[in-house]
């Protein structure tokens, strides 16, 4: 049986993006064999924008669309780089990819790995996954302002939620929960204030929930979730929430599991119309870029999610195992980005 | 010089509300003398709604408006009480009071008191105040849905932000920061995604900031703030943010300083057009209601904010000091709600 070649688009991006992506690719190749991976690199980000004035053209989007999956590093200029409008690269590259390629589910696991230090005194056993909706909510760019720049300015931002968009991430969360031991979904929202959106989310969770009798589900206001995530994060199994709440909650989840340096994610197109995209949750960290100081673990774990989702479950398991083992023996000696990648690749 | 009488509206509300409010009032009276306080109780909440079908009428609002300040307990039915529509009491009592009485600033201090246990392993010195905007944003009730209940439903929620509303909370935050040791304001927002609202907040912070040359200020994305609030909360002095982000951030702040049982707040009308309202951040906790199990400290600290804001600075200091001392000697012996109130009142 001839094995298909895994055809990847690589978007290393800015700052530490290229360094961590290189290690993720190294480990991925170690896991399924160098000859079984084909990569095409797309040089998007701050430099490309400064040279060309382009963020991500339709032609480039079309080219990327032809690949099976995308391995993404990070985009974003240094905060003090006044040449680049704040947020431009994030919106016109990262968010544009998520929206154009219909990444319905932003899949973000939170695990407290052995050997990893949580800022919590008693973190307990943390092992949950956040299903963050990826194409709706406050992220749709449906805002505007009037009398801009005056003392009579009004600036609005509209969160748009559709039954179609909510239903698919809800269903994905229940399906995933069904395969887990605890089989429990927790919806986070703020339905006492956001009545209409909250009502929609509640309704769909109740409807879809009935199709999964083995899966239990409950509801928490997003503010109350802050308290549980710091006092008893072990209670969560699968967290389901909208785009903005998901953004906030997954950073807290990353923090309590030892930091953003380990948080991986998959932006999943779940109907096969475009490639999914795998990226570490951390940003471009321009302050430590190019110094081999960045921890490539989040990028490597993102490559493991890629393998899992793209049909290489065995290889994904091996990468995860290698990461667990590497984390367990990490001490305070600092290794370079490359050394971490080498060690994990060797163990795979 | 004849001292004015402090004329308070009391809204004990539901669940543990009446128990904790009673202790707060006891301490307040101990601080300024029983004869100097006049109270009028308004029986709002679940029971009143079940009896009358009314949440908060215009007549009652008018009556409350006549008082100098409001001491509020908590409203909210038990989550499993299906007789009361979810969120109704919160919206039609609590939020209605905040909006009708133009509570521009939701003032929420976060202090890690000596003797208090944080869930963080190394909390450091936590002492900051959140200035949460109180009358705008996603809380304005500017949402709706179409094709409701069908698979084509669209549900929107609009965050409305005005230069007027933003400017007054920004100014209040800078004025307050000016009187603090570190004199530092941190704006939390998500301006890389919420471009229009974010731009307005940034602009006003920069403009108002120029009037306060001694106060430094910086900016953090709200998601990144999650990380700092759990790894280095001591860095914050004055946090400034919108209504929804403020809701989320203040619960996390309460959590890292040892829990919602200590988190106090003032909903401040800053132009003198209506009474300000002082309330513990916690809810009605129906599960422990009527059992003298609730910690009244958050309500007592809210009364201290009331005293401070309503012109009784000395008394406020004495209440705060009594709370600090009480917290420092608390051990694991459980006292009743009343015993805690008695002890603090005696020390005042
Ligand atoms: C960079 C930014 C636009 C992005 C988001 O808000 O989704 C990031 O915070 C994330 O969580 O992936
Ligand atoms: C009860 C609820 C409406 C309220 C809010 O969202 O503001 C509460 O969470 C708070 O923080 O005071």
Q: Tens of pLDDT along A225-249?
A: 999 999 999 999 999 999 999 999 9
How does residue B293 score in pLDDT terms, banded at 50, 70 and 90? Answer: very high
Q: Does A242 sit in the ligand 1 pocket, CB within 6 Å?
A: no
Is some CB atom of chain A closer than 8 A to the CB atom of B98?
A: no
Active site annotation includes B223: yes
Catalytic residue among B7, B96, B232, B251: B251
The catalytically annotated residue of A42, A139, A176, A278 is A139
Query: In this structure, which topology does domain B118-257 adopt according to CATH?
Result: Isopropylmalate Dehydrogenase (3.40.718)
- What would the mean pLDDT of B234-263 be, rounded to a whole number? 96
> Are the C-beta atoms of A52 and A44 separated by less than 8 Å?
no
* Residue with tokens 């800078």, as numbered in its chain: B174
| CATH C-level class of B1-108+263-348 | alpha beta
The pLDDT value recorded for residue A80 is: 82
CA distance B205 to A89: 24
Nearest-CA residue for atom 2 of ligand 1 = A90
Q: What homologous superfamily does CATH list for A1-105+259-348?
A: Isopropylmalate Dehydrogenase (3.40.718.10)
Closest to A222 (Cα-Cα) out of A199, A194, A203: A194
Verify whether the Cβ–Cβ distance A162 to B145 is below 8 Å: no
Mutate to test the pocket of ligand 2, among B247, B249, B305 (most ligand atoms within 8 A of CB): B247
**pLDDT tens-digit readout, A201-218:** 999 999 999 999 999 999
- Read off the pTM: 0.97
Residue B50 contacts A, CB cutoff 8 Å: no
Least confident of A28-42, A320-334, B62-76, B96-110: A320-334
Query: Is the distance from the beta carbon of residue A90 to the nearest atom of ligand 1 less than 6 Å?
Result: yes
Distance CA B294, CA B286 (A): 10
- What is the pLDDT, as a whole number, of residue B77? 84
Residues in chain A with CB shorter than 8 Å from the CB of B206 are none
d(CA B270, CA B168): 8
Is there a contact between A119 and B231 if contact means CB atoms under 8 Å apart? yes
Taking contacts as CB-CB distances below 8 angstroms, the residues of chain B near A233 are: none
Q: What is the rounded average pLDDT of the residues A303-317?
A: 98
- Residues of chain B neighbouring A251 (CB-CB closer than 8 A): 223-224, 226-227
User: Residue B12 — pLDDT band, cuts 50, 70, 90?
Assistant: very high
Average pLDDT of chain A is 96
Q: Which ligand is nearest to the CA of B198?
A: 1
Nearest-CA residue of chain A relative to B151?
Answer: A163
The mean pLDDT of B264-280, rounded to a whole number, is 97
Out of A62, A81, A223, A287, the active site residue is A223
The number of helices, as runs of H, and strands, as runs of E, in chain B is: 12, 12
Based on the number of CB atoms within 10 Å of its own CB, is B336 exposed (0-12), middle (13-18) or buried (19 or more)?
middle
Q: Where in chain B are the domains?
A: 1-108+263-348, 118-257
User: What percent of chain A clears pLDDT 70, i.e. is strictly above it?
Assistant: 99
Check B42, B113, B139, B176 and give the catalytic one: B139
State the pLDDT confidence band at B121, using cuts at 50, 70 and 90.
very high
Contacts of B345 (CB under 8 A, 6+ apart): B23, B26, B27, B29, B30, B322
pLDDT at A3: 61
Residue A204 CB partners (closer than 8 Å, separation 6+): A163, A166, A167, A170
Residue B104 in contact with ligand 2 by CB distance below 6 A: no
Contact check, Cβ <8 Å, B161/A156: yes
State yes or no: pLDDT of B224 exceeds 90. yes
Q: How far apart are CA B279 and CA B264, in angstroms?
A: 6
CA distances from B227 to A76, A171, A255, A256, B107 (A): 19, 30, 5, 8, 22
Query: Can A223 be counted among the known catalytic residues?
Result: yes
The token duo for B205 is 């912070």
Atom of ligand 1 nearest to the CA of A76: 1
Query: Within its chain, how far is the Cα of B120 from the centroid?
Result: 23
- Quick check: A2 pLDDT over 50? no
Nearest by Cα to B104 from B201, B186, B172: B172
Task: Using a CB–CB cutoff of 8 Å, tell me whether B52 touches chain A.
Answer: no
Q: Is residue A261 a contact partner of residue A295, using CB atoms and an 8 Å limit?
A: yes
B235 lies within 8 A of chain A by CB: no
């Amino acid at each position: 049986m001839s094995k298909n070649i895994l055809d990847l688009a690589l978007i290393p991006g800015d700052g530490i993006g290229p360094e961590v992506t290189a290690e993720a690719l190294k480990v991925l190749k170690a896991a399924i064999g160098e000859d079984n991976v084909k990569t095409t690199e797309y040089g998007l980000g701050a430099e490309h924008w400064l040279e060309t004035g382009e963020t991500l053209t339709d032609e480039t989007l079309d080219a990327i669309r032809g690949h099976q999956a995308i391995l993404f590093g990070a985009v974003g200029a240094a905060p003090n780089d006044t040449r680049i409008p704040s947020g431009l690269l994030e919106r016109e590259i990262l968010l544009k990819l998520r929206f154009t390629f219909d990444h319905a589910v932003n899949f973000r696991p939170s695990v407290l790995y052995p050997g990893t230090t949580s800022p919590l005194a008693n973190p307990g056993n943390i092992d949950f996954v956040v299903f963050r909706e990826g194409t709706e909510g406050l992220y749709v760019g449906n805002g505007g302002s009037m009398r801009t720049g005056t003392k009579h300015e009004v600036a609005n931002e509209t969160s748009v939620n559709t039954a179609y968009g909510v239903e698919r991430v809800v269903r994905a969360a229940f399906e995933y929960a069904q395969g887990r031991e605890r089989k429990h979904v927790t919806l986070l929202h703020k339905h006492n204030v956001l009545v209409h959106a909250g009502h929609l989310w509640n309704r769909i969770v109740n409807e879809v929930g009935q199709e999964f009798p083995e899966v239990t589900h409950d509801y928490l206001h997003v503010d109350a979730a802050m308290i549980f995530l710091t006092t008893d994060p072990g209670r969560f199994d699968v967290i389901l929430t909208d785009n903005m709440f998901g953004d906030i909650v997954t950073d807290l989840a990353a923090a309590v599991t030892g930091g953003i340096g380990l948080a991986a994610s998959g932006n999943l197109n779940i109907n096969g119309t475009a490639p999914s995209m795998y990226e570490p949750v951390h940003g471009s960290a321009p302050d430590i870029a190019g110094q081999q100081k960045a921890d490539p673990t989040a990028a490597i774990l993102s490559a493991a999610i890629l393998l899992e989702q793209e049909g290489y479950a065995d290889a994904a398991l091996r990468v995860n195992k290698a990461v667990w083992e590497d984390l367990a023996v990490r001490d305070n000696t600092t290794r370079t980005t490359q050394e971490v990648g080498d060690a994990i690749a060797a163990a795979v």
